[in-house]
Each structure stands twice: as C-alpha cells, then as structure tokens.
C-alpha cells in the first residue's frame, strides 16, 4: 500500500504531541478544548472516574489519526507487464552433401550441424525461422514459421543422401533469399552452412546480388578441419573410411558475408560450431519491448468510515460521561 497525498501524514506527529500534552492534564475540562469561562474549577478526578476523560479523548485521537490517513489517500497498486517482441526472420541453409559424413566432427559433420541447429531454434522463440536444405539441388524444407516444434521435428528427420549429391551454394542462397523476400520484419537474416565448394546450379554471386537488392544479411559458416578428413565411402565390400581433402571456398563465403553486413565463421570442431551459433545468436538479438499497466485501487473510504465511527463513539462516550457526572 502507498499514499497518493502523503503530506497529510505529517499531521500525525502533531496530533500525537497535542493528545500527549492533553494526557498530562487530567482535569475534567482542559483549556485545549473549552474556554476558561465555561470550564468548571480544575481539579484532579477521582481514580474511578478517569475513564470519563481518557475514553472520549482516546477515541477522538484515533478518529483524527484515521482521518489524516484517509486524507493521505491510501491506494493499492496492482498491475501486469506485457512483453511485445519485434522478432527477426531467419532462414537456415544446411548442407546435406555427401561430404557432411566426414568424421572430423563427432559423430560427423552433419550430426553436429543438426544438433547445433536444434539448439539455435530452441533459443529463438520470438523469431520466425525457416529451413533450406541443399546438396546438388536446393529446396525449402520449411518456410518461415513460429511453429518451432514443427521446424525442430523436420530438422530431426533430415537424412543425408535424400538429394542429388553436390554443393549448390548459389542455389541454396537464392532459395533462402526468395523465402525472405515477402518478409515484413525489420531484420532478415540468412545463415548458410557448408563444407564444400559450389559445383552445381546458380552462380553464387548472382544469388548474392539478389540478397543485396532485398537487404538480406548473410552469415556464412565453413565446416571442416584443415587438410584431410575421414569420410565413409561405400564399396562392394561395405563402407570404408578414407582420408579425403577438405575443400571450402572461404573466399566466396567471406565475400557473401562481408557484402551483406554479416560475418564469415570457420568451424573446425563441434565446440567451435556451437560457439559460432551462439555468437550469431548474440549478434542478432530480438528486440523486446515491455509495456506495464498499473491499476490503482483507492482505499481511503474504509479509513474515513473507521474515523467517523470512532468520532461517533467519542461523542457518545463524552455524552455518557456528562450524564454520569450530573
């Protein structure tokens, strides 16, 4: 509880001093309340009659105190907060080419990228997210949505080998940018993860021009250790792990990120990949605005009613004392 006009409470100490001083003058009629012309000769009351002085005065003092509290307007505030988010629209582009089976990540690049993508989705509840997958071709696995449970389910269902093999970086970028074209969000972001070199479909720089035209910010992530990486290869005698050269077009990925205002990252291990997505999450923080509504419940009436009740009781006690004294 608080007070809308608390300056009235300053009268409480003054009231306490007045009635305190009155308590030291135990005569039937005090000069504070009656003129000397009307007051009977002051004399100390008998002990049995002291209530005739103390009861009316005590009730009057309490009535005055409660009246001051009522004038101060006690109020109780209740309220609620409403959070409004200005989310971002983000498209994830995930490489599903055969080289994502490489085991330089545990258990492999694809599984590491899938888990990091799921963690990223879980941390962005206020954003619309979508998913483009690519290998030798690219298609939209999920358009922009706030149904993150559905999106996460689709990510869990992804499988390598479902698409024609290859690395269509340009086609993946163009597909993701086209999905962002109709977005009305303040910020439109595309995160493209690959472990290879564009060797299929559209020229990536043509797709990059489209991203620049539409104002889409692109973050690129190159996945894979330097040098050689162990990759399972199917043979007539079953899968055999072979060492294969890691090839990532870092120059292209850097250019795509730099020209659109994003950043290029290189992940050489699972922990580093998690840190990259965490950094992107920090860089692309959603804007949250808070509106606070406060309801004011006035409580002065109850205090005033109590003060009036005590005032009536004080007058009744004084009248009764007068009758008994007659």
Same domain as 231, residue 266: yes
- How high is the pLDDT of residue 112? 96
**179: in domain:** yes
Same domain as 267, residue 189: yes
Split into its structural domains, the chain has a count of 2
Q: What is the CA 196 to chain-centroid distance, rounded?
A: 38
CA–CA distance, 163 with 138 (Å, rounded to integer): 8
Same domain as 316, residue 260: no
**222: in domain:** yes
**83: in domain:** no
Same domain as 274, residue 177: yes
- How high is the pLDDT of residue 62? 85
- How high is the pLDDT of residue 27? 47
205-264 pLDDT, tens digit each: 999 999 999 999 999 999 999 889 999 888 888 888 889 888 999 999 999 999 999 999
Same domain as 207, residue 60: no
Half-sphere exposure of 48 (CA within 13 A, CB side): 2
Closest CA to 127 of 149, 150, 144, 152: 144
Same domain as 311, residue 274: no
**26: in domain:** yes
CA–CA distance, 117 with 101 (Å, rounded to integer): 17
CATH number at residue 180: 3.40.50.410
pTM of the entire predicted model: 0.64
CB 256 within 8 A of CB 173: yes
CA–CA distance, 264 with 223 (Å, rounded to integer): 11
Tokens at 7, concatenated: 């300056």
**262: in domain:** yes
Same domain as 99, residue 210: yes
- How high is the pLDDT of residue 238? 80
- Longest Cα–Cα distance of the chain, Å, equals 128
- Report the residue count for the chain: 326
As to burial, measured by CB atoms within 10 angstroms (0-12 exposed, 13-18 middle, 19+ buried), residue 301 is exposed
CB 108 within 8 A of CB 102: yes
Where do runs of H (alpha helix) occur along the chain? 11-23, 51-71, 109-122, 148-156, 169-180, 204-214, 250-260, 270-283, 300-325
73-90 pLDDT, tens digit each: 888 766 555 555 567 899
3-state secondary structure of 227: coil
**291: in domain:** no
The range of the structural domain enclosing residue 29 comes to 2-78+296-325
Residue with tokens 């009740």: 309
CB 93 within 8 A of CB 171: no
**Residues in the chain, pLDDT under 70:** 21-53, 77-86, 286-296, 322, 324-326
Closest CA to 102 of 278, 257, 222, 261: 222
Half-sphere exposure of 91 (CA within 13 A, CB side): 30
Alpha-carbon torsion, ordered 194, 198, 202, 205, to 10 deg: 80
β-pair type (89-95, 128-134) = parallel
3-state secondary structure of 37: coil
């Amino acid at each position: 509880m608080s007070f809308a006009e608390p300056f009235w409470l300053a009268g409480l100490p003054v009231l306490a001093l007045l009635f305190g001083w009155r308590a030291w003058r135990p005569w039937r009629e005090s000069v504070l309340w009656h003129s000397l012309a009307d007051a009977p000769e002051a004399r100390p009351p008998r002990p049995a009659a002291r209530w005739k002085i103390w009861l009316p005065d005590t009730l009057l003092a309490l009535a005055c105190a409660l009246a001051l509290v009522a004038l101060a307007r006690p109020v109780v505030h209740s309220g609620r907060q409403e959070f409004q988010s200005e989310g971002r629209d983000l498209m994830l582009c995930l490489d599903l080419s055969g080289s994502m089976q490489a085991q330089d990540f545990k258990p492999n690049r694809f599984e590491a990228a899938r888990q990091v993508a799921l963690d990223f989705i879980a941390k962005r509840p206020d954003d619309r997210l979508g998913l483009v997958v690519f290998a030798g071709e690219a298609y939209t696995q999920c358009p922009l949505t706030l149904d993150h449970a559905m999106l996460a389910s689709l990510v869990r269902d992804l499988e390598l080998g479902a698409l024609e093999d290859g690395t269509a970086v340009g086609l993946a970028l163009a597909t993701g940018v086209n999905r962002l074209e109709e977005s009305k969000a303040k910020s439109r972001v595309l995160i493209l993860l690959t472990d290879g070199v564009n060797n299929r479909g559209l020229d990536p720089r043509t797709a990059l021009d489209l991203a620049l035209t539409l104002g889409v910010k692109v973050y690129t992530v190159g996945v894979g250790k330097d040098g050689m990486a162990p990759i399972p290869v199917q043979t007539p005698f079953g899968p055999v792990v072979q060492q294969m050269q890691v090839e990532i077009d870092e120059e292209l990925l850097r250019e795509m990120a730099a020209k659109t205002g994003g950043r290029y990252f290189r992940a050489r291990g699972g922990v580093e990949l998690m840190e990259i997505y965490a950094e992107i999450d920090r860089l692309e923080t959603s804007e949250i605005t808070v509106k606070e509504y406060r309801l004011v419940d006035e409580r002065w009436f109850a205090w005033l009613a109590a003060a009036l009740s005590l005032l009536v009781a004080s007058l009744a006690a004084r009248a009764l004392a007068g009758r008994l004294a007659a």
